[in-house]
Amino acid sequence: MKNKLAIGLAAIGVAAVMQGTALAEALKVAVVLPGVVTDKSFNENVYQGLTRARDELGVEIAYTEKVPQPSQVEVMSDYARRGYDVVVGAGAEYTDAAKRVARQFPDIDVIVLNGAPTDGVATINYDNQQFGYVLGLAAGHGSETGKIAALSAQQVPAFEQVVEGYRAGFNAVRPDGEVLVAYTNDWADIAKAKEASLNVISQGADVLLPYLDAGFLGVVQAAEERDVHVVGVVRDLSGEYPEVNLLSTVLDFGGALYQAVELAQNEAIEPRDYRFGIGTDAGYLGGFNAEASQEMRDAVAAAVEKMQAGELDPSAE
Amino acid sequence: MRLVFLFKGVWAVLAALVVGAFLVVLAGADPLAAYGALFSGAFFDYYGLASTLVRMSPLLLAGLAVIVPLRAGLFNIGGEGQIYIGALAGTVAALYLPEALPAALRLPLIVLSGALGGALWALIPALLKAYRGINEIITSLLLSYVAIYLVGAVIHVWLMEPGAPYPYSREVPYDVLLPVFLPRTEAHAGILIALTCAVVLGIVLRRTTLGQSITVVGHNPAAASYAGINVKRLILTSFAIGGAMAGLAGTFEVIGLKYRLFDHFSPGYGLQGIIVAFLASLSPLLAIVAAFFLAGLQAGAGAMQRAVGVDTTMVEALQGLIVLFVAVGLAFRYRPGRTAGKPPAGAPAAAVPETAAKSAEG
């Protein structure tokens, strides 16, 4: 028993020493995630960007998974006071917590992925309307019923922007077309997402846009069962689900995070809104369905070109 | 020999740690390293200790919410609901008391209304028990769900921050936030109030007429009634005190830690209070130790995950094992003249109130 106690105390001592030696020069980056890093969606994508930053930029990383909304401030503050230089909230729902942490720890860089522009916080965003617009265009050419749908967990600004562009693109092809919107209240719940999808399909929607984490799989399953199409906005669905995928765009949040970390390493990041348009390193077009019409492909390509040139602004319509 | 039985909680924790070690091995990690990281992260690190104290506050108060009624032989399983109603009452007071009043006056009013909210919610099962004989375990437990969803509904329709992605209230004014007593941490003054409550209740239960009457009712309500004690009034009093403690726990979470009332903000502190109560053998003073220990397990879980890669849910399993071993421990009572480890045949493991109340006296 005494021996075990001695070993236990030694272990505590070793742990304490190891904590002491961690005071290296490398930039320390912590990411707080709403889900698990193996969700094959948003969280995994962010995690890949984080590990890439570790491997290529040599920063020290840490992350916490599955942080519920009421605990966000505690977890983020804990990283801030333990000497992390950059604390990232992965998702729009961290905006408010980030604001409080930035106020309390003015010396560190607080970053929110996908968050609305906020005082004291660097927000990494996409021109979500552009991504929604091309998907809406594709849906306009692919839909037979004239009804399409978009699903998310919460009514966050980024999703509303996607829907705005989605609707504009759809109505550009079908002026009388209707866009249904549904919320599941859970980013990761596959069953809830499937149920909500079957519901909108029953209402006549035949193209679905999932803006979810792991929950996107429920939308894909429902689409497979009822033989309708899905447009992927966050990740490219054309590789794994070639049958149901109509067109995908890729919002590479991991890539955007990597760029933000690189900026922070050069001490160049500022508390302002950073925005990626379609056709950039961190946000681009994915694959079409193999049976997609040439008309659809041409319309999408033309729209992307116009938006990059600044001739088309779907958010203004 | 008596001592062996006095510290049953310690044995239960040790047994849980030993069994938990096997779980850590199953998870593919070294148990000594895992426990080392867990406890050094919780107790031997400035920020870790502060985080342990922050979690201790609601656990201790929720433990007291169980202990006081249980001394009178009644189960208050509804601490969770009383925490939510207390937090709601405190938040409403914090948001709507006129700002013209000085903060030094508003802060005590907020704390009082939180305690009052919890106490009133606890009085519902107490009244049903005292005047209709309805089982307080069932009513208090089920009222928790009513409370949780009621608070959610109130946040949705009334208190919600405009444009928020999740149901939470507006931020409470800065001048009524509880002061922090450890610099650069979130260790707030509510922790000190919780400790004071535990000490005061310890004295009240041991040294005052009220405390003695509660104990007598707990042992034998019929005899207490015969001795001239107003049993109904004591049921109400003990539940109201317990509910007030839970209400304080909820209020401190809002004005000490989160600064907002969140939907589903409590990760089950009310139910964990039951573990605290039994681990402490129903002593308010031992509850401080029990709550500190459980809070440390939760605060150190993250450090353990970072150090050895064991998932934080391991700590939940540990808590479950502690509950199991504490329950097993209730079957073993100190009886002079009998050998330890041989419980009397047919020991009434289910007769919890009497057993627990007696063991509290040592």
Inspect the interface and report whether the beta carbons of A12 and B33 lie closer than 8 Å.
no
Instruction: Suggest the residue from A67, A78, A95 to mutate for an interface test with chain B (most B CBs closer than 10 A).
Output: A78
Report pTM. 0.80
Task: Check whether residue A203 and residue A161 sit in a common domain.
Answer: yes
* Mean pLDDT for all residues in chain B: 88
3 state SS for B156-180: HHHHECCCCCCCEECCCCHHHCCCE
Inspect the interface and report whether the beta carbons of A12 and B44 lie closer than 8 Å.
yes
Question: B355 pLDDT exceeds 80?
Answer: no
| Mean pLDDT to the nearest integer, A246-261 | 94
Q: Give pLDDT tens digits for B24-50.
A: 999 888 999 999 999 998 999 899 999
Inspect the interface and report whether the beta carbons of B35 and A11 lie closer than 8 Å.
yes
Q: Which of B40, B54, B164 faces A15 most closely, judged by CB atoms?
A: B40
Kindly indicate the confidence band of residue B6, based on its pLDDT and cuts at 50, 70 and 90.
low
Contact B251, B87 (CB under 8 A): yes
Q: Which of A7, A19, A70 faces B32 most closely, judged by CB atoms?
A: A7
Question: A17 pLDDT exceeds 50?
Answer: no
The per-residue pLDDT for B60 is 98
Side-chain half-sphere exposure of A18, counting CA atoms within 13 A: 15
Inspect the interface and report whether the beta carbons of A15 and B257 lie closer than 8 Å.
no
Q: Which of B115, B272, B256, B287 is nearest to B191 (CA)?
A: B256
Task: Check whether residue A117 and residue A146 sit in a common domain.
Answer: no
Q: Which of B37, B47, B262 faces A82 most closely, judged by CB atoms?
A: B47
Buried b (16+ CB within 10 A) or exposed e, B344-362: eeeeeeeeebebbbbbbee
| Residue B75 or A71, more confident | B75
Q: Give pLDDT tens digits for B51-97.
A: 999 999 999 999 999 999 999 999 999 999 999 999 999 999 999 99
Q: Give pLDDT tens digits for B162-191.
A: 877 778 999 999 999 999 999 888 899 999
Q: Which of B47, B28, B41 is nearest to B303 (CA)?
A: B41
| Mean pLDDT to the nearest integer, A109-117 | 90
How many CB pairs (< 8 A) connect A and B? 61
Question: A203 pLDDT exceeds 90?
Answer: yes
Inspect the interface and report whether the beta carbons of B258 and A70 lie closer than 8 Å.
yes
Q: Which of B47, B168, B262 faces A78 most closely, judged by CB atoms?
A: B47
Question: A258 pLDDT exceeds 90?
Answer: yes
Q: Which of B32, B44, B257 faces A16 most closely, judged by CB atoms?
A: B44
The answer to ipTM > 0.85 is no
CATH number of residue A40's parent domain: 3.40.50.2300
Task: Check whether residue A109 and residue A214 sit in a common domain.
Answer: no
The per-residue pLDDT for B108 is 96
Contact A220, A236 (CB under 8 A): no
Task: Check whether residue A84 and residue A151 sit in a common domain.
Answer: no
Query: Does A75 reside within a domain?
Result: yes
Inspect the interface and report whether the beta carbons of A14 and B36 lie closer than 8 Å.
yes
Residues 6+ apart with CB under 8 A from A188: A35, A36, A39, A212, A213, A214, A215
Task: Check whether residue A68 and residue A163 sit in a common domain.
Answer: no
- In angstroms, what separates the C-alpha of B148 from chain A's closest C-alpha? 14
Kindly indicate the confidence band of residue B350, based on its pLDDT and cuts at 50, 70 and 90.
very low
Q: B46 — contact with chain A (CB < 8 Å)?
A: no
Query: Does A8 reside within a domain?
Result: no
User: What are the residue boundaries of the structural domains of chain B, listed by start?
Assistant: 2-360
Question: B309 pLDDT exceeds 70?
Answer: yes
The per-residue pLDDT for A7 is 56
A 33-72: CB under 8 A from B: 62, 64, 68-70
Task: Check whether residue A191 and residue A116 sit in a common domain.
Answer: no
Q: Find tokens 């031997």 and name the residue.
A: B44
Kindly indicate the confidence band of residue A4, based on its pLDDT and cuts at 50, 70 and 90.
low
The per-residue pLDDT for A20 is 42
Structural domain harbouring A239: 128-250+280-316
Inspect the interface and report whether the beta carbons of A11 and B45 lie closer than 8 Å.
no
Task: Check whether residue A215 and residue A194 sit in a common domain.
Answer: yes
Chain A environment of B172 (Cβ under 8 Å): none
Task: Check whether residue A234 and residue A297 sit in a common domain.
Answer: yes
Tell me B99's DSSP state: T
**How buried is B100 (Cβ within 10 angstroms: 0-12 exposed, 13-18 middle, 19+ buried)?**
exposed
How many domains is chain A built from?
2
The per-residue pLDDT for A155 is 81
Q: Which of A8, A74, A81 faces B32 most closely, judged by CB atoms?
A: A8
Handedness of CA B65, B71, B74, B75 (dihedral sign): positive
In chain B, the residue whose alpha carbon lies closest to the alpha carbon of A64 is: B302
Residues 6+ apart with CB under 8 A from A237: A220, A230, A244, A245, A248, A286
The percent of residues in chain A predicted with pLDDT above 90, rounded, is 67
Inspect the interface and report whether the beta carbons of B51 and A78 lie closer than 8 Å.
yes
Chain B environment of A97 (Cβ under 8 Å): none
Q: Which of B33, B54, B168 faces A11 most closely, judged by CB atoms?
A: B33
Inspect the interface and report whether the beta carbons of B259 and A70 lie closer than 8 Å.
no
Task: Check whether residue A284 and residue A163 sit in a common domain.
Answer: yes
Query: Does A309 reside within a domain?
Result: yes
Q: Give pLDDT tens digits for B149-164.
A: 999 999 989 998 887 7
Kindly indicate the confidence band of residue A119, based on its pLDDT and cuts at 50, 70 and 90.
confident
Contact A311, A302 (CB under 8 A): no
The per-residue pLDDT for B162 is 81
Task: Check whether residue A209 and residue A236 sit in a common domain.
Answer: yes
Integer Cα distance of A259 and A205 in angstroms = 37
The per-residue pLDDT for B340 is 47
The per-residue pLDDT for B3 is 64
Query: Does A183 reside within a domain?
Result: yes
Inspect the interface and report whether the beta carbons of B40 and A7 lie closer than 8 Å.
no
- In angstroms, what separates the C-alpha of A277 from chain B's closest C-alpha? 24
The per-residue pLDDT for B334 is 64
Question: B362 pLDDT exceeds 60?
Answer: no
Task: Check whether residue A159 and residue A184 sit in a common domain.
Answer: yes
In chain B, the residue whose alpha carbon lies closest to the alpha carbon of A12 is: B36
- In angstroms, what separates the C-alpha of A295 from chain B's closest C-alpha? 38
The per-residue pLDDT for A186 is 85
Chain A environment of B168 (Cβ under 8 Å): 69-70, 96
The per-residue pLDDT for B351 is 42
Question: A21 pLDDT exceeds 50?
Answer: no
Q: A22 — contact with chain B (CB < 8 Å)?
A: no
Kindly indicate the confidence band of residue A74, based on its pLDDT and cuts at 50, 70 and 90.
confident
| Mean pLDDT to the nearest integer, B193-212 | 95
Task: Give the CATH number of domain B2-360.
Answer: 1.10.3470
Q: B24 — contact with chain A (CB < 8 Å)?
A: no
| Residue A7 or B201, more confident | B201
Task: Check whether residue A203 and residue A305 sit in a common domain.
Answer: yes
Q: Give pLDDT tens digits for A263-295.
A: 999 988 999 999 899 988 889 999 999 999 999
The per-residue pLDDT for A259 is 92
Longest CA span, chain A: 80
Kindly indicate the confidence band of residue B329, based on its pLDDT and cuts at 50, 70 and 90.
confident
Chain A environment of B83 (Cβ under 8 Å): none
Question: A11 pLDDT exceeds 60?
Answer: no
| Mean pLDDT to the nearest integer, A68-89 | 90
Q: Give pLDDT tens digits for B287-304.
A: 999 999 999 998 888 778
| Mean pLDDT to the nearest integer, B205-219 | 92
Query: Does A13 reside within a domain?
Result: no
Kindly indicate the confidence band of residue B344, based on its pLDDT and cuts at 50, 70 and 90.
very low
